[in-house]
Amino acid sequence: MAEYNLPLPAMGESIAEATIIRWLKKEGDSIKKDDLLVEIATDKVDSEISSPVNGILKKKLFSPNEVAKVGNTIAILETEEKLKKIPVEDEKDETMEENKKRFYSPLVRTIAHKERVSFYELETIEGTGEKGRVTKKDILKYIQKNKMIRSKYSDIFLSCNNHKNNMVESEETVEMDRIRKITAEHMINSKNISAHVTSFVEADVTNIVKWREKMKDSFQKNTGEKLTLMSVFVECVVKAIKDLPMINISVNGTNIIKKRNIHIGLATALPNGNLIVPVIKHADSYNLGGLIKIINDLIKRAKSNQLKPEETQGGTYTISNIGSFGNLFGTPIIHQPQVAIMAIGLIQKKLSIIETPEGDFIGIRHKIYLSHSYDHRVIDGVLGGGFAKKVALYLEKFNCYTKI
């Protein structure tokens, strides 16, 4: 019998670890190739790992709620097949080097591991070393800052508990689930990292609404797909990014990283109230029909917890549809390490002044607010506000006779 070291596989750019949720097989169980062995969770999405071989689950090396790094052996399988043992540590180092956007010294990585600082968080720390590298001082400062934030909120909760006996017993304390804790941490980190500014623009989307009303029934009958307006919003955002590519960047220390690819994230509310951001990779390569199909697929699988980890990674710009909650506008928080995010508000019918060559007149139009939050460290109002206006202009120029 040969032993096979089952590693935690690479799951996409910047994912360096995962939490073991539960094992689906017991030690001693017979395993067939492609059988699901274990459920894992990254900081974005839950998924499963299947067996690449036939054999027996000899030993589990990680227990539920323990964190494994990419490349770590998480289980040993016994198999009759002749297999070479995977050099786990070498594979781990290669994976980490491939995924890293900048170098981290052994000391910094040791501190990060000890203090449970994820690779995603490391990427957001502003480095003061040579070429923007993160120094020991940088990571210790980051850790101390986060501890102070957590301590602040702990003091608030403690103060509330001290008054518990004076309150009517009509409250229930519910611990945040894992995704909510991670989301909360990311939101606080983003506010600490980026200087948030938000600009608002109103757009006339009457042509788009009329187009959808005219096309939706025949489109669904012919394709089986629901015709939503998000595809048009994504298309207009992509056009605006091509016109103003400095929106499609990230920041590393004092360096600005220009992104050649346009990967659009779609903030999606899950049935349990949590948030996930599936990503349309190379969004500029799709026509309108292609965008409709991929958006419907991503959102459907997001809500049924069927996304792959890599489908939530690599976004360069994010859109949030707050209009689906009946909201007019808002101040969305930037999804790090991106530098901007747009919220799409509720479409409303309004009395408006319509300008024509024959003169002005009043009519009923469908209007929408775009809320554009951007990082004032690298984006000023002329670009941040100008980008929002550019998207609005593309929306207003949409041809209601467009064929899909």
Query: Same domain, yes or no, for 269 and 385?
Result: yes
Full DSSP string of 188-214: HHHHHHS-EEEEEEEEE-HHHHHHHHH
The arithmetic mean of pLDDT across residues 344-358, rounded, is 92
Q: 90 pLDDT exceeds 60?
A: no
Output the average pLDDT for the chain. Answer: 86
Written as six digits, the tokens of 133 are 């590298």
Last-in-domain residue among 95, 114, 135 = 95
pLDDT of residue 110: 80
Query: Would 304 be classed as within a structural domain?
Result: yes
- Give the helix ranges, DSSP H, for 115-205: 119-124, 136-162, 178-193
pLDDT of residue 270: 87
Q: 396 pLDDT exceeds 70?
A: yes
pLDDT of residue 366: 96
In degrees rounded to 5, what are phi and psi of residue 299?
A: -70, -40
Q: What is the CATH number of the domain that holds 48?
A: 2.40.50.100
Query: Would 12 be classed as within a structural domain?
Result: yes
Our count of domains for the chain comes to: 2
Written as six digits, the tokens of 336 are 């790090």
Last-in-domain residue among 78, 95, 112 = 95
In the chain the first and final C-alpha atoms are separated, in Å, by: 58
In degrees rounded to 5, what are phi and psi of residue 77?
A: -110, 145
Q: 164 pLDDT exceeds 60?
A: no
Query: Same domain, yes or no, for 68 and 216?
Result: no
Query: Would 133 be classed as within a structural domain?
Result: no
Task: Select which of 34, 93, 155, 380 is catalytic.
Answer: 380
Question: Do 1 and 78 meet the contact criterion of CB atoms below 8 Å apart?
Answer: yes
Query: Same domain, yes or no, for 70 and 208?
Result: no
Query: Same domain, yes or no, for 90 and 205?
Result: no
Last-in-domain residue among 79, 95, 111 = 95
Domain containing 27: what range?
2-95
Q: 160 pLDDT exceeds 90?
A: no
Phi-psi region of 131 (alpha: psi -120 to 50; beta: other; left: phi over 0): left
Q: 350 pLDDT exceeds 60?
A: yes
pTM beyond 0.85: no
Q: What is the torsion angle, in degrees rounded to the nearest 10, for the CA atoms of residue 263, residue 269, residue 270 and residue 276?
A: 30
Query: Would 380 be classed as within a structural domain?
Result: yes
Question: Do 261 and 316 meet the contact criterion of CB atoms below 8 Å apart?
Answer: yes
Task: Select which of 113, 196, 366, 376 is catalytic.
Answer: 376
Query: Would 281 be classed as within a structural domain?
Result: yes
Quickly tell me which residue has 């492609």 as its tokens. Answer: 34
Written as six digits, the tokens of 171 are 């409250």
Query: Would 318 be classed as within a structural domain?
Result: yes
Q: What is the CATH number of the domain that holds 316?
A: 3.30.559.10
Q: Catalytic: 93?
A: no
Query: Would 189 be classed as within a structural domain?
Result: no
Q: 111 pLDDT exceeds 70?
A: yes
Which tops the pLDDT comparison, 22 or 164? 22
Q: Catalytic: 380?
A: yes
Query: Same domain, yes or no, for 61 and 208?
Result: no
Written as six digits, the tokens of 343 are 């919220």
Query: Would 356 be classed as within a structural domain?
Result: yes
